[in-house]
Structures are given as C-alpha cells and as structure tokens.
A and B are shown apart, each in its own frame.
Chain A
Amino acid sequence: MMQRLHILPMLGLLSVLTLAAAPAGAQEPGIAAQLVARGAPADFADRVAQIVASARAEALPTEPLEFKAQEGWAKRSRVPPERVLAVLQQLVGRLEQGRDVLRDAGLDASGPVVVGAAEALGRSLTPEQIRDVVRSAPDPAAAGTGLTVAASLAAQGLPAAAAARAVSDAYRSGRGPEEILEFPSTIADATARGERMVDIGQRIMQGGMLSSPGGSMGGAGTGGQGGRPPGMPGSKQGTKTQTNKP
C-alpha cells in the first residue's frame, strides 16, 4: 500500500546519486559520494567517511552519523565544516557511552539498541533504567524502539523513571513495539487535553498503563479531562493531527 506520488521524486534523485563517482580513497563510498554529489568538497567528504568508517570498525551504528553529516551539509550557510566534523565526533562519543551502558551489563549492543541507549542517556535516563527497558523487550530491535520511545517520553515531560517504566511495563505485559510507538502520540494528546505529566508519571509508577491516543491511561478509566479553561496549553489550537493508514 505505497503512496508512490511522494516517494518517486525522492527516488529519482537518489538514483542520480548512485551514479556519482566516489572520491578517491573513500572507504565509505555511500556517504562521501552523497556529500560530493551535493557539492561538498572532497576533503570534507573524506573526513566524514573516515569518521564513519572508524565508528563502523568499533561496531557502532553509523546511520545516525550519516544523517548528521547530511544535516550539517544542508545547514552549511550557518555551520562551518569543522563544526560538522566536531559534532560527528561528539556523536561517536555519545554512541560509545550508550554501548558501554549495555556492554557493562552483558547486554546485546547491536545497532538500534546502541542508538536508543545514546538517546535515552541524552534525556537523563539512568543506566539502570536503560538496562531494564532492554531486558523487558522481546528482541533487540524492540529494545531499540523501546529506548527511543522512552527518550521521547522523557523529552515530552514525563519523569525519566516513568518514561522507562511505561515502556518496560508494556513489554512485560506482552505488548509489542508497534503499540509502544504510539506512546509519544498518547502523551502529546494528553498534553493537548491539559493533563499534567507529573500526574501521568505518578500513575505509571503506581502500575497504570499507557494506552493509545485518546485513552491516555488504561485500566483505571482516568482518561483526559473534558473542557479546558482558556489559556491552558493546547486549548487555543486543539490541533490534533491524526492520520490513519487505510
């Protein structure tokens, strides 16, 4: 069920990118060629490729680095090239920290989990909270998803402990990553209806479960408050944007 209309223009450009020759000496022809095809100088592209190759050698996930390099180049009117390289190095450091949290506990440190762990650390989840999410997940891909979601929940205002609990409790009760992926929308919806993160956080710590958007908390029947007074966050716009797959 593909909506091709939007994707085709992107694919057209991507096929053009594959035809671009890789700069001499590049060890990661993908990212270097992409950057050069977008007008980046060859030495910058090579330096990026080296950082990516070095990360890959340490068995670190490289997709976040490639995205960040592309982003840095796209923002070049405000960002000097050395800054992009510096930020890439910082990102390598954060990925290493994520990996260390997992390895120190003998946990699987594959790509998506490391990315999730790095994100979670960035949102002040503790190593123990991170490990608990990983242990609760049915497989490594789900662990990565769980950590990414927990990081988002924390960014949205849920206390870190509640963000981690929401995910680990859901996995332990048999729910899958597709449901977990709905949680940030659930929280956004709750925020729009005027619910307070600290309240939701407390209910999670007491064993309440997050559900789909519109329901907010399952089991206890504590759905959103009806009618927000003017001036409350979300009361002005009320823009709930929900699109459903046919």
Chain B
Amino acid sequence: MTGRDRFHPDVQRYLDGEHVEGVAQRDIEEADRFAKAVLEYGASAEAPDARVDAAVMEVVRARVSQREGSFWQWLVQPNLVRIRPALMAAASIALVASGAALVSLLPRTSPTVADAVPTVLVRFELRAPEAMRVTVTGSFDQWSGDRVELQQNTATGVWSGTIPLTPGRHEYSFVIDGERWLPDPMAHAQVDDGFGQVNSVIVVGPRGVVRS
C-alpha cells in the first residue's frame, strides 16, 4: 500500500465502479490489489452447504405435520422445478413454430447459420490514449472479453474498429488492458449489468448506427 492512511476520494469513486480520470496508475494498482485480495478472501471462505436446506425442510415439514396431524403435504416433489428432457424438446419446437428468432435456437457454432444472417458494419471508437490494449466485447462475441481488438491512432489516442453485427439490440463494453471494463459514452443507452458495473447498448438498424 502507498503508505497514506486513506484512499483518495477519486480512488474511492473508482472502487465504486465510476469512471475517473487523472488518477495515478500506482493508486489504481493499489486499489485493484485491495479489491482483489478481499474478493479472494471471500471466495476462499467456505459457505454453508445444502445441509442447511435439508435441516430447514425437516423443521418446516414438522411444522406442517403439527398442523395437519400425521398428514404430510407431499404435493410436489422437490425436483419438479427441473426439466425432463422430453418436455424441453417439446418447448423448443413450440418456440420455433411460433416464429421466435431462429438464430437463438440453432447452435451458434454452425458456420452456415452465421453466414445466412445479414450483418451490418458498425464502428466502435474510444478515446484512451494511455491504454496499451483495447478490446470490445458483448453478446455478439459471447462476452469473450478479449477477442475483438481495436486499433489505436497514436496521434489522437483514439482506438477504433469495425465489427459486423446483426440488426437489433446489442449489449457490450470496452475492456482496457484486459482488466478495466468501460462503457461507451457514445452508446444509445447504458444498462446496469447486475454485477455493479454498466454495459452499453446500441440498436443496430439495417442501414447502420448513429450515435451521439
């Protein structure tokens, strides 16, 4: 740790997931080490297992039988909420028949399917002069994180690239140096990712995308 007894307010905001500029790299690294150490501490701690569930259900059933005399309410087996394969197949067929998007049901691993769906070229840009590597990732690359690299214009510090996307809604994020996830300030909208960060959203029309 850098030896001061508190985090700089901008570093606090960085740890809160906000986008901050002008923070010393050393302070960022210290903050990242701190967050990582705590996360690892949490991950390494054992968490209570399913024996809790079993113990609770025993008591709950006892409560029920107390109320109902000796009659156990075994109306529903616990595994009803899982699916039997035959039922799953029937549901898939029903979805196809109702006209749901075929692309989502057919395996995405088939090259011929991907070829058949029309795509539109969309340009992504981010100003990040201090970055060493910038990628863009999203639903379109199954959130690989690092597969789609942008190229830097060293004069302007702007990273850019062009990606073919299908028309429709796409959620995505930039990743700086493989570590920092950054939304696109020029996206149509931002959305809470549910994990404490923010993803960007664009809606691609057949003729391309205009962003502000």
Contact = CB atoms under 8 A, between A and B. Distances in A.
Contacts of A56: 83, 88, 91-92
A234 B144 CA distance: 32
B139 interface: yes
A186 B211 CA distance: 9
B11 to A, nearest CB: 16
Interface stretch (B22-30, B51-59, B166-174): B166-174
Nearest to B94: A59
Contacts of B115: 2
A141 B163 CA distance: 24
B42 A80 contact: yes
Interface stretch (A10-18, A95-103, A128-136, A201-209): A10-18
A237 B83 CA distance: 52
B176 interface: no
A182 B108 contact: no
B123 interface: yes
Interface string A63-79: 10001101111110111
Interface residues of B, number: 75
B186 A241 contact: yes
A53 interface: yes
Nearest to B115: A2
Contact of B168 (A139, A181, A192): A181
A242 B114 contact: no
A7 interface: yes
Contacts, number: 211
Contacts of B81: 54, 57
A182 B207 contact: yes
A34 B142 contact: yes
Interface stretch (B2-10, B70-78, B98-106): B98-106
Q: Which size class do A's interface residues fall under?
A: 35 or more
Contacts of A3: 119, 121, 164
B191 interface: yes
B129 interface: no
B164 A189 contact: no
27 contacts: A6-B163, A9-B147, A10-B141, A14-B109, A18-B107, A56-B83, A56-B92, A57-B81, A57-B83, A63-B101, A67-B142, A70-B142, A72-B195, A73-B143, A74-B143, A110-B99, A140-B98, A144-B101, A181-B167, A181-B204, A183-B203, A187-B188, A188-B188, A188-B211, A192-B212, A241-B125, A242-B210
Given A78-B197, A141-B100, 8 more contacts: A18-B107, A110-B100, A148-B203, A178-B205, A184-B203, A185-B209, A188-B188, A234-B212
Interface of A: 1-3, 6-7, 9-11, 13-15, 17-18, 27, 30, 34, 50, 53-54, 56-57, 59, 61-63, 67-68, 70-75, 77-80, 82-84, 87, 90-91, 108, 110-112, 119, 122, 139-141, 144-145, 148-149, 152, 155-156, 178-179, 181-189, 191-192, 212-213, 233-234, 237, 239-245
